[in-house]
Amino acid sequence: MQQASYAELFCLSNFTFLTGASHPQELAERAMELGYAALAITDVCSVAGIPRAWAALKNTPTRLITGSCFEAQDAPPDACAPRFILLARTRKGYGQLCQLITSARRRASKGQYQLLCQDLDSHALDDCLCLWQTPPATEVRAEDALTCGRWLQQRFQSRFWIVATRTLESGEEQQLERIRWLAGQLHCPITAAGEVHMHIRGRQPLQDLLTALRHHTTVEQAGHRLFQNGERYLRPLPVLQRLYPRDWLQETLRIASQCSFEPGSLRYEYPPDLVPDGLTPAAYLEQLTRAGEKQRYPEGSPPAVQALIRKELALISELHYEHYFLTIHDIVLYARSRGILCQGRGSAANSAVCYCLGITEVNPARVQLLFERFISRDRNEPPDIDVDFEHERREEVIQYIYRRYGRERAALAATVIRYRPRSAIRDVGRALGFDPVQVEQLLEGIDWRDRDTDWRQQIMDKGLTRNPGTADQFFSLVNTLLGFPRHLSQHVGGFVISAGPLAELVPVENAAMAGRTVIQWDKEDLESLGLMKVDILALGMLTAIRKALALISEDRGQEFRIQDIPPEDPATYAMLQKGDSIGVFQVESRAQINMLPRLKPETWYDLVIEVAIVRPGPIQGDMVHPYLRRKHGLEPVDYPDDAIRSVLERTLGVPIFQEQVIRLAMVAAGFSAGEADQLRRAMAAWKAHGDLTPFRDKLISGMLERGHDAGFAERLYQQICGFGGYGFPESHAASFALLVYVSAWLKRHYPAAFFCALLNSQPMGFYSPSQLVQDARRHNVSVLPPDINHSQWQHTLEGPGRQLRLGLRLIQGLSARGAQQVCQCRPATGYRSATELRRLAGLSQRDMELLAGANALASVSGDRHQAYWQLLGHEQPAELFARETDDEPAEAACKLLPEPGEGQNILADYASQGLSLRRHPLALLREQGHLKHCLTAEQLHTAESGRPVQVAGLVTGRQRPGSAAGVTFVTLEDETGNVNVVVWLETARRQRKPLLTARLLQVKGVLEREGSITHVLAGKLSDLSHLIRSLPVSSRNFH
Amino acid sequence: MLWLYLHFPHLLLDHIRRAQPDTGPLAITDAGGQKVIQACPHARDLGIRPGMRLKTALGLAPELAIIRASDHQQERILEDQAFWLYRHAAHIVPVPPDGLLAEVGSLQRMYGSLDALWKVLEQALQERQLTAWPGTAHTPLAACLIARSGQGEFCSDKARSLHLLSQLPLTRAGLDERTCTRLQRLGLETLGQVFALPQAELARRLSRETLMRVQKILGTRADPQTPWQPPHRFRQQLDFAQDVERVQGLLFPLQRILSELEADLHWRQQDTDCLQLSLRHRHEQATRLRIRTSGPEHRAEAFLNLIRLVFERQPLKAPVISVHLSVQRFLDRQIPTGQDLLGQNGDPDEAWHTLVSRLQARLGDNALTQIVPQPDHRPELAWRALPVGHRHKAVPAVPGAHRPLWLLPEPQSLGETPRAWLSGPERIQAGWWDGQRVHRDYYIAQLHHGQLAWVFRDPGGDWFVHGWFG
């Protein structure tokens, strides 16, 4: 006798957004616990929940069935619109299902779907099973229902069932009666199915809440839109046996036994396009690698590199990853051919093979890399290489990929946007009918970084509600909702490329951005199914570097490339050691600027460390100070044994990189590469919800076995915990450090070209154009204002002195077309008047006014007020026969207009360009005697440490980094530079007002200096913003 | 002509504050709840400014009380002010959202002098605990600009007001943003500098609208103002920054609006016999009260006593966030009332209303109710009794549901085992959100005496009868 069991064939997860109330893995685990033979995840027009359910069910007796449910938009003649579930029988059926979902999704806007009855005819669905959900007996006439059923049955023949669901709701008896009648009429079997929305009954409140949110109402107002009870859960087998006739339950097993498709059987089929006929992929990869090797090492490669290449090629070919490397090589080759700078990163990227293929510039001879991190024999997972491209030209690369593989074969991976505390609190509050203003107030009051008291406690302290019952309910709902998916968004650049149509591998849907499509799976889903993804990322610094190189080439009269930059230039390192790094890649943040003089980088590898060390992991793991002490010889470096020495030697015995932690687990505790990788994932997840305890025992016992003492073992474990998921991988730092060096070298030796290129690549980086221009001038770059007779759209270098001429792009609001015309139509001798400019360039009144407002007409028409006056009054098109000639006498100046004062000019510059080349406003205020006793940024450098000081400046930054508990860092800007102010929590609390609102801030405090790092520890803060108004002009937005 | 403009710089704030004196820092936000538009002095001390984002304001004062303004509400409050100003001046014009304009040139004679008029108005403002900035000038627009600058005076000297206008910065001149930016780009800062520009140039280089505006300010172009007529009703509202939990907290602010009503009735020379009072709560339905006097009445004290009596009988069901008082029925003081209800009517609708009115008069308002369905799965909450004639949204009943016609007011314990089960179970689980949680399995059962009962079992396994089928 067959053992009583059950297969749930109709189950929605929370990937049916705002409907399903359980995660796919929760459903999967519960089904397994209850002893179900199988569970089908059948989200609405989606298979987004499948990978997670699969991860939970693989290697268990409960099988996962892949399906999806639909409601057609239209109806067959004389029938109602069909609602049904499709289940995939085999891999072929799965492909058919994905195709159908893709068609329905692509037809509708983001997040929606539109299925038409004709789709069931135009798509092959012969390997899918159809379960029909009959319409409610109270709403649809029996004949219409029957016609609908007949219509569906014709299409699926013997693969057609009627679903019967016992929800115990009112009207159920009529419904069951109707189902029996329809089954009799159609001679088709009935199967039980639970229409499951949650894994346990306890999720009913959350399910009600989601329903209310979906209908944009509150739970209280939702009325009959809520389900009548919480019966749509995974029921225990005895309950099912009580509720359903035996044969209906048996039918579920019969259906399940037909569905043999397993998501794990999906194999990535690499696009074969790249391999020339007659060659195997392995041979072709080797051929390309060897050719590259000759270019990289013209005098022959060192033996170590040769060995590395052999080892890597063998591993790649053993795991069949040739296509992956070939694909990336092809994309990089395309970028090179178009002059687009790019660079790969990640440990697979920093391999000898990738160096030879030109994917990375990191010479394997210079750094020891953990190739195993991404490619491992233990795990059947694909390698991961990120390639950065110039941010302004990444789109060209993306378009190339679409062209090369077609939209049917290439699409972006999805990013699942999930509920976070803020959004969860907001939505739960909304559904429970709380006043949105109150909820906002609550959210504002929460200090998310305050780790000591969690937000729950903070809300309780604030008295969200007097009713503790409501509060409990609120929290438990918020807690459950946290991490629920809200919608699918597009990944920043992860492309999935396939051999056959992608839509047979995974459904493709529309992204919010026009012309973009995303697949229904995200990065982790792809990883868990072992599918390949290529990350095409955008990096602003590459744009800036390419532009700077072009300017230098122009200067030198011959091409100047990255390779032409001399390595390890002492002058460049000397500049970095001073913390002079505004504009330099990665090391321009305030924390980095402070670290540079302490770490004193002297070599490229120091930069690799610099990039990785200013991160929460090393800071919280307390690795910074030991490293610095050892680097400067203040502390001895020792290693317990040689194995550990080999891992930590290059960082002086202190683990700084993520790879080192992993590697330590391998050499000190005997973890295999695969186990170490699990540790890496656990570390990444640890902060969120993870648990490292399972690894603790293994780590510690492993270390004890290898003769380390218990103290050392415990310390290492603690370091791993402190590191959390916030370590930076060496393989990424290595690639980044190259760009740090290149950009620093450019700044040191070609500052004008460097800043010009940076300004032309905005927006990017940490600093505003105003700050960059000030820094440029401090580096003796002379900067000229925008001018209709000299400027281009871009910023340019001008004359033999290579002065930086600001471009018209800086003028806020000016149309690019107008600016282009100004440049194109400019006579060789320049424009002689505003009238001529208007006539020749055909500018709109708006553009003319913007140019005058920016004082860009200064060379042709007096001060900005007069220039503007002359422009006005031309709004109507000139009369047809009225002749406007250039020798028309210039209009008489209007005597009633005041001449602009210095302050007025400065503010007008800021208003139109966000910066001014005139004196800094602080210089004016100082001259007017408003800032007595205040030292300038420059004076601070020579002032004595520990003495009380006063400073004042425009507030250019307020930061509260998560790694510095309670401290606010304020950056003030004056005419000589930037002042760093440190505000302790208590000071901040007592002086919220000036701290949060001042645009011009005065600080009394104490000067502190450590080495060459100077900052002011704030005592009293005063808001001096009113002084900006005293620059004799009406106030306008400033900064 | 001489125009007076009263600018209420923080009307909503005053409105809230007079209903509920100091309750800590308070800010009014725009309808979207994003931006602060008014801040009380306490909040201003903490650095909160109009125009600030609410996020920032909350950063400055986490305990800030917040009221969200709606255009509708502001307009209504402004109209409330028009009511009393109308008693002093015949030609007034409300200028939403926060100004009142009055022609006062013709009133000087009546009040003796402009100063005397201002004293009267000042007192009226004081009684109402309102802040208003006055401005007088010979054109409506000029009076408005002067008032809004906060530097207005009460005087009829044309040269003086011209001087004040000339000093006004452009940003305060009520110009559209584009014009203002353009004038600033010319280096101009005050309205006086704009007056000085040749008018033809102004029209050519800026716009005709700008010239027209300048002319309207200066009075060289007509700027007709349509006089406001008071509607034939009285209404006032109190909004509270913090929930009022006790009747006492309502009576005090009610006193003021009842005095307002008395003054209004006095001015109309009319009485009333019915006040409608509606109390709004945060979550629950509003409490609507009809206060009937025994005869025509106009004294605030009498109304207050009646209201106090009503509250003695009927305590507050939930904290109150606002109170709305309106009077629509005005009775002339000479004519005795009470007989018009008995007039003959042929219209059946009218007859129905007469019947309802009579029954209500005899039995009290609450004695007559109608039953309407409510969308709720819980049987006891699936219907609601409403006062007759009360409008309600049509809600379909649950389709296909078996529900007894006779639902017991409360489920009764079932003492016997039914003879037969006819249908079920129907499971109802709902109400986790409002404390009236229900978890029941319903059945239709035949009891020993043959009755068809609607019975249910609760999670504890106990049986109850909840209704009877015919």
Q: What are the φ and ψ backbone dihedral angles of A870, each rounded to 5 degrees?
A: -65, -25
Please say if the pLDDT value at position A20 is more than 50. yes
pLDDT for the residue numbered B396: 64
In the structure, what pLDDT confidence band is assigned to residue A885 with cuts at 50, 70 and 90?
Answer: very low
The pLDDT assigned to B399 comes to 61
Quick check: A944 contacting B, CB < 8 Å? no
What is the average pLDDT across A586-605?
Answer: 90
Output the pLDDT for position B196: 86
Query: Distance from CA of residue B170 to its chain's centroid?
Result: 35
Q: What size, in residues, is chain B? A: 470
**pLDDT, mean of residues A352-368:** 82
pLDDT tier for residue B389 given thresholds of 50, 70 and 90: low
State the nearest Cα–Cα gap between A682 and chain B, in angstroms: 36
Residues 6 or more apart whose CB falls under 8 angstroms from that of A644 comprise A664, A667, A668
Task: Count Cα neighbours of A123 within 13 Å in the Cβ-side half-sphere.
Answer: 26
- pLDDT of A845 higher than 70: yes
For B62, which of A138, A205, A445 is closest by C-beta distance? A445
pLDDT tier at B154 (50, 70, 90 boundaries)?
Answer: confident
How close, in Å, is residue B410 to chain A by CA atoms? 21
Task: Provide the pLDDT for residue B337.
Answer: 42
User: Which of A198, A217, A242, A440 is best to mutate for the B interface (most B CBs within 10 A)?
Assistant: A440
pLDDT at A487 over 70: yes
Total-model pTM: 0.76
pLDDT at A875 over 70: no
Give the per-residue pLDDT at A187: 95
Query: Residue A230 and residue A167: Cα distance in Å, rounded?
Result: 9
Which residues of A856-931 form beta strands (DSSP E)?
none
CB < 8 Å from B in window 853-882 of A: 853, 864-865, 868-869, 872-873, 875
Give per-residue pLDDT as tens, A323-359. 889 999 999 999 999 999 999 988 778 788 999 999 9
Q: Name the minimum distance, in Å, from the CA of B407 to any CA of chain A.
A: 17
User: For residue A867, what pLDDT is reported?
Assistant: 82
Q: Among residues 387-426 of chain B, which lie with CB inside 8 Å of chain A?
A: 395, 398-402, 423, 425-426
Q: What is the pLDDT of residues A634-680, one digit of tens each?
A: 988 888 888 888 888 888 988 888 878 877 888 888 887 777 777 77
Question: In the predicted model, is pLDDT for residue B183 greater than 90?
Answer: no
Give the count of beta carbons closer than 10 Å to the beta carbon of residue A1011.
10
Q: How far apart are CA B401 and CA B379, in angstroms?
A: 11
The closest of A948, A949, A974, A969 to A959, measured between CA atoms, is A969
Mean pLDDT of A33-59: 94
CB-CB contact of A855 with A810 (8 Å): no
Task: For residue B24, name the pLDDT band (cuts at 50, 70, 90).
Answer: confident
Q: Is the pLDDT of residue B402 over 80?
A: no
Report pLDDT for A378: 59
First CA to last CA across chain A, in angstroms? 80
A391 token code pair: 């941010």
Question: What residues does A538 pair with on adjacent strands?
Answer: A389
- Mean of pLDDT values over A848-859: 87
Inter-chain touch B62–A444, beta carbons under 8 Å: yes
- The span from the CA of B189 to the CA of A438, in Å, is 41
Asked if A812 has any chain B CB less than 8 Å from its own CB, the reply is no
pLDDT at site B450: 82
Chain B positions in Cβ-Cβ contact with residue A902 (cut-off 8 Å): none
Q: Is A899 within 8 Å of B187 when comparing Cβ atoms?
A: yes
Query: Which of the 8 DSSP states describes residue B204?
Result: I
What is the per-residue pLDDT for A417? 92
How large is the average pLDDT for residues B45-54?
A: 84
Indicate the residue of B33, B46, B376 with minimum beta-carbon distance to A437: B33
Q: CB–CB of A473 and B433 under 8 A?
A: yes
Handedness of CA B465, B467, B469, B470 (dihedral sign): positive
pLDDT at A564 over 50: yes
CA angle A771, A776, A778 (to 5 degrees): 95
Average pLDDT over residues B249-278: 87
Chain A contact present for B180, CB below 8 A: no
Q: Do A869 and B186 touch (CB under 8 A)?
A: yes
At residue A1009, the 3 state secondary structure works out as strand
pLDDT over 50 at A431, yes or no: yes
Contact B428 A223 (CB under 8 A): no
Instruction: Write out chain B residues lying below 8 Å of A432, CB-based.
Output: 433
**Which residues in chain B touch residue A208, judged by CB atoms under 8 angstroms apart?**
430, 432-433
* pLDDT of B341: 46
- A237 pLDDT more than 60: yes
User: Coil, strand or helix: which one is A442?
Assistant: helix
Q: What distance in Å separates the CA atoms of residue A582 and residue A977, rounded to the nearest whole number?
A: 11
Higher-pLDDT residue of A764, A515: A764
The pLDDT of A572-595, averaged and rounded, is 92
Note whether B398 contacts A231, CB cutoff 8 Å.
Answer: no
Q: Which residues 210-249 in chain A show a CB within 8 A of chain B?
A: 219-220, 223-226, 228-231
The whole-angstrom distance between B322's CA and the closest CA on chain A is 15
pLDDT exceeds cutoff 50 at B166: yes
What 8-state DSSP symbol labels residue A718? H
Q: What is the mean pLDDT of residues A749-773?
A: 93
Beta bridge partners of residue A83, listed in sequence order: A71, A133
User: What are residue A20's phi and psi, to 5 degrees?
Assistant: -70, 140
Report yes or no: B407 and A145 within 8 Å, Cβ to Cβ.
no
State the Cα–Cα distance between residues B152 and A74, nearest whole angstrom.
Answer: 68
The answer to whether A436 faces chain B, any CB pair under 8 Å, is yes
Residue-averaged pLDDT of chain B: 82
- Contact (Cβ atoms closer than 8 angstroms) between residue A352 and residue A364: yes
User: Mean pLDDT over all residues of chain A?
Assistant: 86
Residue A244: is its pLDDT beyond 90? yes
Say if the Cβ atoms of A996 and B201 lie within 8 Å: no
Task: Give the helix/strand (H/E) hosting B235.
Answer: strand B234-244
Chain B residues close to A137, C-beta within 8 Å = 400
B402 vs A contacts (CB less than 8 Å): 170
Please give the torsion angle defined by the CA atoms of residues A845, A850, A851 and A852, in that order, rounded to the nearest 10 degrees. 90
Determine contact: B441 vs chain A, CB below 8 A: yes
Beta bridge partners of A980: A971
- CB within 8 Å: B68 and A437: yes
Q: Is the pLDDT of residue A449 over 70?
A: no
* Residue A1036 confidence class, pLDDT cut points 50, 70, 90: very low
pLDDT tens digit sequence for A163-184: 999 999 988 989 999 999 999 9
Residue A903 has pLDDT above 90, yes or no: no
Q: What is the dihedral of CA A70, A75, A80, A81, to 10 degrees?
A: 10
- Interface A–B counts its CB contacts (< 8 A) at 147
CB B141 within 8 Å of CB B213: yes
What is the per-residue pLDDT across B443-469, written as a single tens digit (0 to 9) for each? 999 888 888 899 999 888 889 999 988
Q: Is B361 on the interface with A (CB under 8 A)?
A: no
Whether residue B182 and residue A849 make contact (CB cut-off 8 A), yes or no, is yes
Residues 6+ apart with CB under 8 A from A92: A127
- Band of pLDDT at residue A447, cut at 50, 70 and 90: low
Statement: residue B393 has pLDDT above 80: no
Q: pLDDT per residue over B404-441, tens digit each?
A: 888 888 898 887 778 888 887 899 999 888 878 899 99
Compare CB distances from B376 to A223, A445, A897 and report the shortest one's residue: A223
Nearest Cα to Cα of residue A261 among A502, A575, A41, A491: A41
Span A285-310, mean pLDDT? Answer: 89
Q: How far apart are CA A96 and CA A82, in angstroms?
A: 19
Query: pLDDT tens across A720-750, in order?
Result: 776 666 678 888 888 899 999 999 999 999 9
Could you say which of B399, B432, B435 has the minimum Cβ distance to residue A205? B432
**What's the average model confidence in pLDDT over B285-301?**
83
Whose CA is closest to A401, among A503, A522, A497? A497
% of residues, chain B, pLDDT over 70:
90
CB contact under 8 A, B430 and A869: no
Interchain CB distance below 8 Å, A137 and B170: no
In chain A, the residue whose alpha carbon lies closest to the alpha carbon of B431 is A220
Our CA-based measurement puts residue B253 at a distance from the nearest CA of chain A, in whole angstroms, of 25
B56:A997 CB<8 A: yes
Instruction: Give CA–CA dist B174/B183, Å, rounded.
Output: 13
Calculate the alpha carbon distances from A130 to A49, A125, A149, A253, A426 in Å.
20, 9, 11, 15, 39
**pLDDT value at residue A881:** 40
DSSP secondary structure code for residue B203 in this structure: I
Give chain B positions within 8 Å (CB) of A436: 33
Shortest CA distance from B190: residue in chain A: A1034
Average pLDDT (A280-287) is 92
Which residue matches tokens 């490339």?
A561
Q: Which two tokens stand for residue A449?
A: 């970084």
Which of A999, A991, A934 has the alpha carbon at shortest distance from A968?
A991
Distance linking the first and last C-alpha atoms of chain B: 79
Over residues A806-818, mean pLDDT: 92
Measure CB to CB from residue A873 to each of B54, B205, B435 and give the nearest one.
B205
How much is the pLDDT for A882? 43
Q: Do B426 and A170 touch (CB under 8 A)?
A: yes
The reply to whether residue B425 touches residue A168, judged by beta carbons under 8 angstroms, is yes
Q: How confident is the model at residue B245 (pLDDT cuts 50, 70, 90)?
A: confident
Question: Cα–Cα distance between A55 and A428 in angstroms, integer?
Answer: 29
Mean local confidence (pLDDT), A923-941 = 88
